Amino acid sequence: MAKMTMREAINQAMRLEMARDPDVILIGEDVAGGRGCPVDDGEAAGGVMGVTAGLYSEFGAARVIDTPITESAIMGAAAGAALTGLRPIAELMFADFFGVCFDQLYNQAAKFRYMFGGQHGAPMVVRTMVGAGMGAGPQHSQAIYPIFAHIPGLKVVLPSGAYDAKGLLIQAIRDNDPVMFCEHKMLYGEEEEVPEESYQLPLGKARVVREGGDVTVVALGRMVQLAAEAAATLEKDSGLSVAVIDPRTISPLDVDTILDSVEETGRVVVVDEATPICSMASEVASMIVSDGFSSLRAPIRKVTAPHTPVPASPTLEAGYPPTAAKIREAIEAVYNYR
């Protein structure tokens, strides 16, 4: 199996699905490399992060569509096309921009199936970038997906690496409802072993990253790596046995896998890069105290960003998302709670 970056894996997932199904189209800003320029070079860009590179050359202007910077029109166009038969992949460059276009997603696409009494949904995927780490400041670094997860009718996927990203994206494209596919910008360059061929991973099924009987860590997105690192260190240093669970999709959430682990450990740390209030970290904790209370032997510790915007300064930004050290500390705290 070849090593592949998450960027390549996502690109490949789109390529495979577009080749398989002519109803799959891609629409967004500069996804076709930028149209209307002196040099008509479809390879010039492929989105600002190069994730869609080459798709324009392969599938042509009718299916890889550059747009003006008008996110409401993009999301609405995708929703309308999805309602009438296509399976659009719409790119929302940075998830931070949801505030200019969310109506078309949350009041329209997400509600079609329900408010039209089951006539049809909006089979569309919104690919979007999340997370801190580039020093890009308050409006380009947010992990805003708890807001997506709050909305009935939206599914929300948060891959933690290349392998999951490919299988989950293929599944998301085939799903019959709108899926917010949140790509952490700091993971694009990270490599994993990824099969060349097509495969699907179900939405709503967590991955047990490592087994462990002492403490359960539920970690999201880029935090999964850090949690696994913290767990490994603790096992080596103190012999602690720490389970790490990556929900992979935060809506729907794989409640069972989490509760099974909590039943064994009774001690829980939830790690997320999003701000804490009404977040997935709170959601997971609250689900456990409702449905797994009898197993619980310690307070649940949430390790999250602070309730502040993301500062531009790298010095400050470094202290913003959870770190392996903070995760380790939280694991030890819940482990040692008596």
Partner 1 sequence: MNLDEPTLRHAYETMRLMRVFDETGRREFLAGKLPGFIHMYCGEEAIAAGICAELTDADYIASTHRGHGHCIAKGCTIEDMALEIFCRRDGLCRGKGGSMHIADLKKGMLGANAIVGGSAPLAVGAALKIKTRGESNVSVAFIGDGASNQGTVFEAMNLAVVLKLPAIFAYENNGYAEMTGVDYHCGSGDIAARAGAFGMPSHKVDGTDYFAVREAMAAALAHARGGKGPVSIECVAPRWYGHFEGDPQGYRTKEEIADLQETRDPLALFRERAMATSSLTEADFTAMDAAITERIEAAMAAADKAPLPEPDDLYTDVYEVYD
Ligand X SMILES: Cc1ncc(C[n+]2csc(CCOP(=O)(O)OP(=O)(O)O)c2C)c(N)n1
The binding site for a copy of itself (CB under 8 A) comprises 72, 96-107, 110-111, 114-115, 137-139, 146-147, 149-153, 251, 253, 275, 277-291, 293-294, 296, 298-302, 306-309, 311-312
Q: For residue 116, what are its two tokens?
A: 């039209």
Of 78-86, 213-221, 225-233, 238-246, the window that binds partner 1 (rule: CB under 8 A) is 78-86
Which partner from the list partner 1, a copy of itself, ligand X, none does 68 bind, CB cut-off 5 to 8 Å by kind? partner 1
Look at the block and give the residue holding tokens 């149209």.
35
Which partner from the list partner 1, a copy of itself, ligand X, none does 17 bind, CB cut-off 5 to 8 Å by kind? none
Q: State the Cα–Cα distance between residues 120 and 67, nearest whole angstrom.
A: 26
Interaction between residue 100 and ligand X (CB under 6 A) = yes
Residue (of 83, 86, 95, 44) closest to 66 by Cα position: 44
Q: Shortest approach of partner 1 to residue 169 CB, angstroms?
A: 17
Q: Which is nearer to a copy of itself, 60 or 299 (CB)?
A: 299
Interacting residues with ligand X between 33 and 72 (CB under 6 A): 69, 71
- Could you write out the three-class secondary structure of 123-181? CCEEEEEECCCCCCCCCCCCCCHHHHHHCCCCEEECCCCHHHHHHHHHHHHHCCCCEEE
Binder of ligand X out of 6, 27, 81, 93 (CB under 6 A): 93
Interacting residues with partner 1 between 205 and 244 (CB under 8 A): none
Query: Annotated catalytic, 140?
Result: yes
Q: State the Cα–Cα distance between residues 206 and 208, nearest whole angstrom.
A: 6
Q: Minimal CB distance to ligand X: which residue?
A: 97
Number of Cβ atoms within 10 Å of the Cβ of 293: 9
Binder of partner 1 out of 2, 19, 100, 325 (CB under 8 A): 100
Binder of partner 1 out of 26, 78, 125, 231 (CB under 8 A): 78
Spell out the residues 6+ positions from residue 242 whose beta carbon is closer than 8 angstroms to its own: 210, 212, 214, 215, 216, 217, 230, 231, 234, 235, 331
CB 185 within 8 A of CB 131: yes
Binder of partner 1 out of 1, 197, 239, 315 (CB under 8 A): 315
Interaction between residue 169 and partner 1 (CB under 8 A) = no
Strand, helix or coil at 216?
strand
CB 130 within 8 A of CB 184: yes
Q: State the Cα–Cα distance between residues 236 and 212, nearest whole angstrom.
A: 13
Angstrom distances, CA of residue 103 to CA of 71, 106, 138: 11, 5, 22
Interaction between residue 115 and ligand X (CB under 6 A) = no
Of 92-100, 245-253, 287-295, 304-312, the window that binds ligand X (rule: CB under 6 A) is 92-100
The active-site residue, picked from 120, 140, 150, 307, is 140
Q: Shortest approach of partner 1 to residue 337 CB, angstroms?
A: 18
Interacting residues with partner 1 between 289 and 308 (CB under 8 A): 306-308
Residues that bind ligand X (CB under 6 A): 29, 69, 71, 93, 97, 100
Residues labelled as active-site residues? 140
